[in-house]
Structure 1
Amino acid sequence: MNIDRRLMTALALAGLASGCTPTDATFGNAVRQTMAAQVVNPDPQYDTAIPSTEAAKAGAAVDRYRNDKVKQPDTIRTTDTKTGSPQ
């Protein structure tokens, strides 16, 4: 009797699983299209060469980074908040 109950439960679950909606061949195309739209050009070809950097400045920046003496950027205020009511 115990085996019959397990068999019936397995058959019922198999029947329920067969009623699931099959995945469509185009499933996920919207996500792939959105991802492709966010990529500007994965292999850009430029007419001009990349401008060179000064080796002394680049070396000094690396030294500052290694010695933990990085120059902090200037702070920029993007908003002005004022309190109180307009008069």
Structure 2
Amino acid sequence: MSSKLTLLAPAALLIGACAVDPATQSFDPGFGEAQKYNMAIQTIDPDPVYTAEDAQPGDNGDKGAAAVKRYRTGNVKAVEMMGTTGGGSGGSSGGSSGPQ
């Protein structure tokens, strides 16, 4: 138990030392800013303000409504199949695993 304490005590002092300004012996004014910034960018604005150039709520609603109507009436568009080109991506395809 004491060996763990002797290892953790210096680490705690080093971490705490980064937050205190040695000249004033007070916390750095920027301490915790990264955490505050991360919280702020993940918070949803409950009352957003949109300008005329911004995407508006309901944009492309006509496409969505048409898709729901097709789904409900059984007229769903067929899935479009896409092909790929045969490029060498380095994967094995049954051949040898290296240069000969």
TM-score range, shorter chain: 0.3 to 0.5
Would you tell me which structure has more helix in proportion to its own residues? Answer: 1
Q: Which has the higher contact order (CA 8 A, sep 6+)?
A: 1
TM-score by length of 1: 0.33
Q: Report the TM-score when normalising by structure 2.
A: 0.30
Structure index of larger Rg: 1
